[in-house]
Amino acid sequence: MDLKVEGLNVSYDEKSILKNISFNVKSGEIVTIIGPNGSGKSTLIKTISRYLKPRSGDIYFNEVNIRRINTKEIARNLAVLPQVKAVSSDVSIEELVSYGRFPHLKFGKRMGKDDKEVIAWSLEKTGLFHMKDRYVATLSGGERQRAWIAMTLAQKPKMLLLDEPTTFLDICYQMETLEMVKDLNKTLGITVVMVLHDINQAARYSDKMMVMHEGELREYGEPCRIVSKDLLKDIFRIDADIYEDKVNNCPYFIPKKNNNTAGKCQDD
């Protein structure tokens, strides 16, 4: 699914959070939004997922303005995995995944055979089928994240929005989650737009990277162009050396020793 964002402005209490953001995401791409804290990355994802209302600007899915599409209709094509989510202590994995069928259900109708097939497929795809009766609340952080991804899969989306899917996970689960996202992108052709904090991971798993800074879209392009000494210094305020990861065919950086410590992460 193509995504087009045009002149997006979002503000909260007169404070402008996103300033005139425009970009395109082509169908089948993985695009990762990076940027320092408070740069507006999460706000951007929340606006595209229609949780926040823009002050001005438009969002198009496959050239159709989302203001013209019913929200349930959107949910049949676009799945969202936000950072903040809740689940009652007695909800099983299968039950959580079944909620992903909600946008496909007609008013007052129960789930049919094909809904159940999609749920089983989502569980299979995320490797959760053998434990589908366990309560989500009892799972480890990584398994829980997989259960949520399975729920979004049950929506049968063409595009997936992920807001920091690896936060609070250990490195093994971070890799597992990102590998799974990549696999879903490759095998099912799901377009992915996500926010990541780890720039090296973003460079490794994305087709394109988007750099946000103080509410503006500063750079947008392929990882080898984005991950540069100047950009890391200008936007992330670190000195770093750039190397090439020949195995994964992507750039990576190693930060140098930070000379001025306290207060360096704040803006001047």
50 contributes a contact to other proteins by CB under 8 A: yes
CB of 155 to other proteins, least distance (A): 7
Q: Which is nearer to other proteins, 122 or 251 (CB)?
A: 122
Supply φ then ψ for residue 116, to 5 degrees: -65, -35
| Residue (93 or 226) nearer to other proteins, CB | 93
Stretch that binds other proteins, among 71-79, 170-178, 188-196, 240-248 (CB under 8 A): 71-79
Of residues 83-122, those binding other proteins (CB under 8 A)? 83-92, 94-95, 99-100, 102-103, 105, 107-108, 116
The β-bridge partners of 64 are 61
131 belongs to the binding site for other proteins (CB under 8 A): no
Tell me the C-alpha distance between 197 and 35, whole Å. 7
Q: How far is the CB of 90 from other proteins (least distance, A)?
A: 5
Specify the long-range contacts of residues 259-262, CB closer than 8 Å, at least 24 apart: none
What are the tokens at 151?
């729920």
Stretch near other proteins under the rule CB under 8 A, chosen from 79-87, 195-203, 214-222, 233-241: 79-87
Pairing of strands 208-213, 30-34: parallel
Residues contacting 240, CB < 8 A, separation 6+:
229, 232, 233, 253, 254, 255, 256
Contacts of 75 (CB under 8 A, 6+ apart): 102, 103, 155
Nearest one of 110, 91, 90, 88 to 101, comparing CA atoms: 110
Nearer to other proteins, 73 or 219 (CB): 73
SS3 (DSSP) at 164: coil
Rule CB under 8 A: say whether 124 interacts with other proteins: no
CB of 266 to other proteins, least distance (A): 29
- Binding flag, residue 79, other proteins (CB under 8 A): yes
Q: Which CB, 98 or 227, lies closer to other proteins?
A: 98
Q: Is 247 in the site for other proteins (CB under 8 A)?
A: no
Backbone angles phi, psi at 96, to 5 degrees: -60, -45
Binding to other proteins in span 132-151, by CB under 8 A: 132-133
Binding site for other proteins (CB under 8 A): 46, 49-51, 53, 70-76, 78-92, 94-95, 99-100, 102-103, 105, 107-108, 116, 132-133, 152, 155, 161
